[in-house]
Amino acid sequence: MGSQRPLSFAILAFLTLLCFQKMLFGVKASNKESSKVHIAYLGEKKHEDPDLVTASHHEMLTSLLGSKEEALKSIVYSYKHGFSGFAAWLTESQAKSIAELPEVVSVVPNGVHRLQTTRSWDFLGLNYYKSTGLLSRANYGDGVIIGIIDSGIWPESRSFSDHGYGPIPSRWKGKCVVEPTFGANNCSRKIIGARYYAGGVSEENLKGEYVSPRDFNTHGTHTASTAAGVPVSNVSFQGLGAGMVRGGAPRARLAIYKACWGQAGECYDSTVLKAFDDAIHDGVDIISLSIHGDGFPAGSLPAVMKGITVAFIAGNQGPVPQTLNNDVPWVITVAASSIDRSFPTVITLGNRKKLEAQGAFYRPDKVQSKELIYGKSCDMESLNGTHVVGKYVLCFDMQKVSTTIPREVIATQLGTVMSARAKGVIFGHYTSFLMDYLLELCQGLPCIAVDVAIAVQIGDYMDSVR
């Protein structure tokens, strides 16, 4: 392929992130006594040769630490393509000494950040079959390379088949990093590059992990398939949401940069910036990140200045309604919203009145009125003295529905109800579209969600039969 990118496809960058599912975490202490990983940002490169940029970083550390050997032990990453900087193990006093140098813009501790349907793309107007539609006119993203900075990829997924793909674009300069858990055959004409960054990652986050581009967390596989997964037919979740699943740009190529680690999906400033640096060098057209943060300006701005579109997630939760993160002005920050699809679960009351709820609970289950109790806010105080074992609990507090974040409420209520050994739970909230939370948190317990109006009707019925 030539170096030109399909112009109409730039619009699709607004859609390369839909997710999901985050909170800033403090700096993790290293096991190297008083040293911690710090990020030194030097601004624009003084040399076009990346080797010279790295050499200047080594010289700076050698001058500080007394020998080149100590400098090489200290440095974790050298940022040399999009900007000049490095990550290194430094004590607080050493970091302060580096920060006082005139060529250094800033030195900061290594921060840690968290990672955040088959119907969504059609709902957004990207109809796969419409010959005159935007997706067709953009040739389904063919020729575009999307860099995914996340937790890696599971290459065996059918979403990443390279059947029908031509040669890898000649402008591509990236590579496939091979490890025992990720072979050369795991890269393809679809997944054209894969790198990982384990330097400076805590031992806790490496436990059980694949120290390779392979995805342990599963989040990166999800985001990569959302952006560029090929069409896969007859997909459903236990019969729900059946249809064809695909990415927004199904013919685009994928370049994977694993910068996030462990089951918690923790992403380090040092690893994310190195992923940006390599993605700039490799020749991606778009960089997609579903990571909570401030937009990583040291990495995202140089990428945009090189003509790369950078798309971030707006965040999964607040801190309050109508707020977002990753709001730097040079990136595209994408928020999720409701779509025109539901997963209805019918509640039939004893008076035969049918009410619609939402949930992944699809089995018929007959509940006697004496088996349903009103748990109010479902905290320890409201459930105190209530016999909950083997019963269904309605968790609904009218005083709190408009002032709390659904996930936090559901997680707290569910923890209390499960510890009381309830058989199932009905959550009443301002919206019943809480499927993401139910799937994540309920873990096999029958859970359904209703809105305020339905919750009030259920409560009134319970009062009438007492």
Tell me the backbone φ, ψ of residue 306, rounded to 5 degrees.
-90, 5
- Average of per-residue pLDDT across 226-244: 78
pLDDT for residue 127 is more than 90? no
> pLDDT exceeding 90 applies to what percent of the chain?
49
- Work out the pLDDT band at 342, boundaries 50, 70, 90: low
401-420 tens-digit pLDDT: 766 667 788 888 888 988 88
Confidence at residue 408, expressed as pLDDT on a 0 to 100 scale:
81
Yes or no: domain 344-464 corresponds to CATH 3.50.30.30: yes
pLDDT for residue 123 is more than 80? no
248-307 tens-digit pLDDT: 999 999 999 999 999 889 999 999 999 999 999 999 999 999 988 888 989 999 999 999
Global model pTM greater than 0.95:
no
Confidence at residue 382, expressed as pLDDT on a 0 to 100 scale:
82
pLDDT for residue 28 is more than 50? no
pLDDT for residue 92 is more than 80? yes
Confidence at residue 402, expressed as pLDDT on a 0 to 100 scale:
67
- Average of per-residue pLDDT across 383-400: 83
Tokens representing residue 127 in the block? 């109809």
201-211 tens-digit pLDDT: 999 999 999 99
Angle, CA of 324, 138 and 3, to the nearest 5°: 95
E strand or H helix that includes residue 459: helix 452-464
pLDDT for residue 73 is more than 80? yes
pLDDT: which is higher, 330 or 343: 330
pLDDT for residue 221 is more than 90? yes
Average pLDDT of the chain?
A: 84
Q: CB atoms < 10 A from the CB of 294, how many?
A: 15
Sequence-ordered list of residues with C-beta below 8 angstroms from that of 418, at least 6 positions apart, any chain:
445
Confidence at residue 249, expressed as pLDDT on a 0 to 100 scale:
92
Confidence at residue 29, expressed as pLDDT on a 0 to 100 scale:
36
Strand-by-strand arrangement of the 332-334 sheet: 191-196, 253-258, 145-150, 286-289, 309-313, 332-334
User: Where do the structural domains in the chain lie, given as residue ranges?
Assistant: 7-22+113-334, 36-109, 344-464
- Average of per-residue pLDDT across 307-335: 81
Confidence at residue 241, expressed as pLDDT on a 0 to 100 scale:
64
- Work out the pLDDT band at 83, boundaries 50, 70, 90: very high
**424 SS3 class:** strand
- Average of per-residue pLDDT across 330-346: 75
Least confident segment among 58-67, 119-128, 248-257, 270-279:
119-128
- Work out the pLDDT band at 366, boundaries 50, 70, 90: low
pLDDT: which is higher, 232 or 215: 215
Spatial separation of the C-alpha atoms in residues 193 and 393, rounded to whole Å: 50
Question: In terms of CATH architecture, what is 36-109?
Answer: 2-Layer Sandwich (3.30)
Yes or no: domain 7-22+113-334 corresponds to CATH 2.60.40.1930: no
